[in-house]
Amino acid sequence: MADMDGFREANNFGFGQTAQFDSFHVKGASNLPWGMKDRLSRIFNPKTGRVVMLAFDHGFIMGPTSGLERIDLNIVPLIQYADCIMCTRGILQSSVPANINKPVCLRSDAGTTILTELNRNVLIDVEDAIRFNASAMAVMFSAGDGEQEAITAANLVEAADLGNRYGIPVMGVTAVGKQMARDARYFALASRVCAENGASIVKTYYCEGFEKVAAACPVPIVIAGGKKLPEKEALELCYNAVNDGAVGVDMGRNVFQSENPAAMIQAVHAVVHDGLTPEQGYEMFQDLSK
Ligand code: R5P
């Protein structure tokens, strides 16, 4: 792994700062074709440059995990509060009304489940992303995970190639390699590799030193919420992430496993877009929960 001092020197050019030449509101997208920019503009609010993605793609590896048992009852009512949704084609076509008028970040790979170990991912047909009018394709990159690293890197490259051909941005979804610690070194490498291979968005995790992860990634980073936290802590996570360079969140379990999911996603949205502090966000959550 590269020496951290050299890393710090080379990349410490400010938290969340976009590159000087960027005139488009999405980091690193100035040179992209019109169609890619149009799709990215549907995802990232042109006023704030930020996004709250509601992630409910978990079933492709976890099955009907808690909070996702009934998409029609548990999730569809929350979509109105999200800027973008992240889910699989199977859920879109079976359970999500086509008149939600929200951009879709389509989960565009699939592989083994949590019953074995996440492995041997394959890409879905890119024509499905076109048919579903996807605004982005989400594809996992599993850094440091032996054979899976090579497979997922190849998937990411292929998805970026096809995305470039059809004007559909790719979001690289960094997994955590089995043996790796979830630290800034790891996420800086995983995020940068996604961007180097052509991803226009990266989804990763918040960590200590995250500001350097974001600064060293030439495309926007959204953070996953990870396992369910107490609501106040989850709002702190959102607040810290966007203040350390993330452009938003791709949150699932901390919304749909909340005691009040509708209140939680509205509080997350206010923290991400309106600059509420975690305390203000939690107060909003409590008020909406009454
Ligand atoms: C995991 O299956 C997906 O990558 C999720 O989209 C991602 O982890 C965000 O969901 P959560 O906030 O529950 O981690």
Measuring from atom 7 of ligand 1, which residue has the nearest CA? 224
**Cα(225) to centroid(ligand 1), Å:** 7
Measuring from atom 1 of ligand 1, which residue has the nearest CA? 58
Q: Quick check: CB of 109 below 6 Å from ligand 1?
A: no
Q: Which residue has the tokens 């939680």?
A: 264
Q: How confident is the model at residue 280 (pLDDT cuts 50, 70, 90)?
A: very high
Q: What is the arithmetic mean of pLDDT over 227-232? A: 97
Task: Decide which of 120 and 14 is more confident.
Answer: 120
Q: Is the pTM of this model over 0.75?
A: yes
Q: How confident is the model at residue 8 (pLDDT cuts 50, 70, 90)?
A: very low
Give the ligand 1 atom nearest the CA of 175: 4
* Whether the predicted pLDDT of 276 surpasses 50: yes
**Cα(9) to centroid(ligand 1), Å:** 32
Give the ligand 1 atom nearest the CA of 173: 4
Least confident of 15-29, 32-46, 266-280: 15-29
Q: How confident is the model at residue 257 (pLDDT cuts 50, 70, 90)?
A: very high
**Cα(56) to centroid(ligand 1), Å:** 7
- Site to probe by mutation for ligand 1, drawn from 51, 53, 57, 65 as the one with most ligand atoms within 8 Å of Cβ, is 57
Give the ligand 1 atom nearest the CA of 55: 6
Determine the Cα–Cα distance for residues 30 and 26; give it in Å rounded to an integer. 8
Determine the Cα–Cα distance for residues 159 and 151; give it in Å rounded to an integer. 12
**Cα(254) to centroid(ligand 1), Å:** 10
Residue 47, classed as helix, strand or coil, is: coil
Q: Tokens for 209, please give them.
A: 């030193």
pLDDT, position 3: 53
Give the ligand 1 atom nearest the CA of 58: 2
pLDDT in tens, 59-72: 999 999 999 999 99
Query: Which of 1.10.3370.10, 3.20.20.70, 3.40.50.1820, 3.40.50.720 is the CATH number of 32-289?
Result: 3.20.20.70
Determine the Cα–Cα distance for residues 276 and 289; give it in Å rounded to an integer. 17
pLDDT, position 160: 98
Determine the Cα–Cα distance for residues 251 and 224; give it in Å rounded to an integer. 5
Task: Cite the active site residues.
Answer: 203
Q: Quick check: CB of 176 below 6 Å from ligand 1?
A: no
Least confident of 14-18, 152-156, 233-237: 14-18
pLDDT in tens, 113-150: 999 987 889 999 999 999 999 999 999 999 998 899 99
Q: How confident is the model at residue 177 (pLDDT cuts 50, 70, 90)?
A: low
Phi, psi of 35 (to 5 degrees): -60, -40
